[in-house]
């Protein structure tokens, strides 16, 4: 027989999960200018990432990662436009229907995008992980004598 636990025996947070702490602000200035070579999708992503970061990204150290992310979005948009224009299926070398060969590049581009999204905190798990890391950085900064 199972019995319900008394309030004294229950474990966990009775008020729900604790909210993750925000990442530390590392940059308070304006976002870097949109690189001229980015196309429409990349420009939109560039602006959105810097805005969403809320100062958590440094133009000196994070610029290239965010640039790569925006460029990959441009590549994905071009590939999808090509597939949309030519059709998802094409005629294969022996006359059989086949998936458009550009789909292979869409899939590899999306894998790269997911990896960057995890690195810059654009997934719930990554935000939680980065929040935990940010809390540890603040703790160490507050008491460096502990180390």
**Which residues lie below 8 Å from residue 52, measured CB to CB, with a gap of 6+?**
122
Name the pTM for this structure.
0.70
3-state class (DSSP) for residue 102: helix
pLDDT in tens, 94-109: 999 999 999 999 999 9
Q: How far is CA 79 from CA 17, 87, 107, in A?
A: 41, 11, 10
Tokens of 93: 């070398």
Q: Are 71 and 45 in contact (CB under 8 A)?
A: no
Phi (first) and psi of residue 4, to 5 degrees:
-70, 145
How many CB atoms neighbour CB 121 within 10 A? 21
94 backbone φψ class: left, alpha, beta (φ>0; ψ -120 to 50): alpha
Per-residue pLDDT of the chain (147 residues; tens, 9 = 90+): 555 555 555 455 555 555 445 555 655 668 899 999 999 999 999 999 998 877 888 898 899 999 999 999 999 999 999 999 999 999 999 999 999 999 999 999 999 999 999 988 888 888 888 775 655 545 544 555 544
pLDDT in tens, 44-70: 999 999 988 778 888 988 999 999 999
């Amino acid at each position: 027989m199972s019995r319900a636990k008394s309030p004294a025996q229950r474990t966990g947070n009775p008020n729900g999960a604790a909210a993750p702490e925000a990442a530390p602000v590392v940059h308070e200035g304006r976002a870097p200018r949109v690189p001229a070579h980015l196309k429409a999708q990349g420009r939109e992503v560039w602006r959105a990432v810097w805005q969403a970061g809320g100062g958590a990204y440094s133009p000196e150290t994070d610029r290239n990662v965010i640039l790569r992310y925006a460029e990959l979005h441009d590549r994905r948009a071009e590939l999808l436009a090509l597939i949309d224009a030519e059709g998802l299926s094409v005629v294969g070398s022996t006359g059989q229907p086949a998936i458009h060969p550009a789909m292979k590049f869409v899939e590899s581009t999306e894998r790269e995008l997911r990896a960057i999204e995890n690195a810059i905190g654009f997934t719930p798990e990554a935000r939680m992980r980065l929040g935990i890391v940010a809390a540890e950085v603040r703790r160490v900064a507050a008491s460096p004598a502990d180390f």
